[in-house]
Amino acid sequence: MKLYNAPSPLETKVVSKRFGMENSWKLDTYLATGGFEGFKKAMAMSCDEVINEVKSSSLRGRGGAGFPTGMKWGFVPRNTDAPKYVVVNADESEPGTCKDRLLMEHDPYLLIEGILIAAKAVGASKGWIYIRGEYRYLVDHIDAVLKEAYQRGYMGKNIAGTGFDFDLYTQIGAGAYECGEESALLESLEGKRGVPRIRPPFPAVSGAFQAPTVLNNVETFCAVPDILRNGGKWFADLGTPKNGGTRMVCLAGHVNKPGVYEVPLGMNMMYFINEIGGGMRGGKKMKALIPGGSSCPLLRADECDIAMDYDSMAKAGTMLGSGGMMVMDEDTDMVKVALRIMRFYKHESCGWCIPCREGTTWLQKMLARIVDGNGATRDIDLIGDLAKNMLGRTFCPLGDAAAMPTISIVEKFRPEFEAYVAKNPFASSELVQVA
């Protein structure tokens, strides 16, 4: 399988270490390169020991929310004979993100081994890889890999002779960003509309088919085999304190070498863009970037000299998110960016709750009007106000995801909105504030 972009010598390859190897997705390749050693180690450990190993790695969810993985596994109730499940979130839909695709394509056994270790840690018997419908080729790919795994005794009964039983299936989605939200994904897995569930209960207690469920992103599971193999501390030490390990960053936009790269957490963002990403395309100046998928507040170029880890990003008022980094040069029309982002969230809002359903629609219409040259000064204030009125009040984080980038764009690039409005001769009117 060919790589879509050349790797960089500055990467630290953990989950991507097999990328580019011949037949990297084959079991024999996997076994020849240390595959299933982590799983075998886990089988010799108690459930608590496995979970503690993961906790000590300070691995945090790679899907976007960054919740500590070991802690999440620890929430699954013990002392119950009820079935438990493992679900993989491979619904990779956050704009800017294209890493899980590569992991499943190039190293599916790494994901499978990570799933098996999670299953062992919580006593799960069955699992599903929920893959977004657009990645149909990956469903076929993983199905073929699973067929081999079953035939070779690495899935099903008595896995690798350890006495451990587990069944794993693919589940195809059908086009819905919202299904990347874990409880919506579970609804979809049950054959329903991808509308999120009321939480609590969280999936660890009541997840797939109302059974206790471990649910993590593809990359998160992929980090687990090496954590078991080399120890949690080894992984943690790759990154910065509380931000263990490496992560895949999907670099896109106006850079010379866009691509998916694996870097240690805590790498300086400008270093990443300039040294790995090859700097700005065409010698342009950088204007802004979206650091981790379109749900994240944008950073101006002057705000980007920071470490890429969960805590530093939070301090800068944004998030590491799903690792989808989109870099924009000086010529980028930020009003159009705001509109395109809102169009996306309006399209993907599930419609369940009022502020998100109506808010995204209203904002999209207003932004479109401004771009069309019919905006008014009051609209600029209203955009920020409405986005804030969605923030923290919607049923699920999609409303926040729509609000956060919008608020940041209006705040940071207000003159661009004013320039649009200035072209409209009927632009002046004051905004009425909702007290």
Instruction: Give, as ranges, the residues between 157 and 186 that touch another protein (CB under 8 A).
Output: 169, 171-177
User: One symbol per residue from 296 to 335: x for binding another protein (CB under 8 A), - otherwise; what is it?
Assistant: ----------------------------x-x-x---x---
Residues 88-127, interacting with another protein (CB under 8 A): 92-98, 101, 126
Strands 85-90 and 213-217: parallel
Q: Are the CB atoms for 299 and 288 separated by under 8 Å?
A: yes
CA distance 247 to 223: 9
Which residue in the set 157, 193, 233, 315 belongs to the binding site for another protein (CB under 8 A)?
Answer: 193
CA distance 92 to 322: 9
Backbone angles phi, psi at 370, to 5 degrees: -65, -45
Beta carbon nearer to another protein, 88 or 326: 326
Q: Which residues pair with 251 in a beta bridge?
A: 259, 325
Beta carbon nearer to another protein, 213 or 220: 213
Beta carbon nearer to another protein, 199 or 233: 199
Residues 27-66, interacting with another protein (CB under 8 A): none
Residues in the chain: 435
Residues 126-145, interacting with another protein (CB under 8 A): 126, 128, 132-137
In the bound complex, what is the minimum distance in angstroms from residue 262's beta carbon to another protein?
13
In the bound complex, what is the minimum distance in angstroms from residue 134's beta carbon to another protein?
5
Q: Are the CB atoms for 171 and 327 separated by under 8 Å?
A: no
Beta carbon nearer to another protein, 16 or 240: 16
In the bound complex, what is the minimum distance in angstroms from residue 397's beta carbon to another protein?
11
Which residue in the set 5, 46, 256, 428 belongs to the binding site for another protein (CB under 8 A)?
Answer: 5
- A 10 A CB-CB count for 300 gives 13
Beta carbon nearer to another protein, 45 or 431: 431
CA distance 278 to 157: 48
Two tokens, residue 400 = 């926040």
Residues 373-392, interacting with another protein (CB under 8 A): 382, 386, 389, 392
Beta carbon nearer to another protein, 216 or 349: 349
Which residue in the set 9, 161, 163, 191 belongs to the binding site for another protein (CB under 8 A)?
Answer: 191
What beta strand segments (E) does 151-292 contain?
A: 167-172, 213-217, 246-253, 259-264, 267-268, 286-290
Residues 238-297, interacting with another protein (CB under 8 A): 250-254, 258-260, 290, 294
DSSP secondary structure string, 368-382?
HHHHTT---HHHHHH
Q: Which residues pair with 217 in a beta bridge?
A: 89
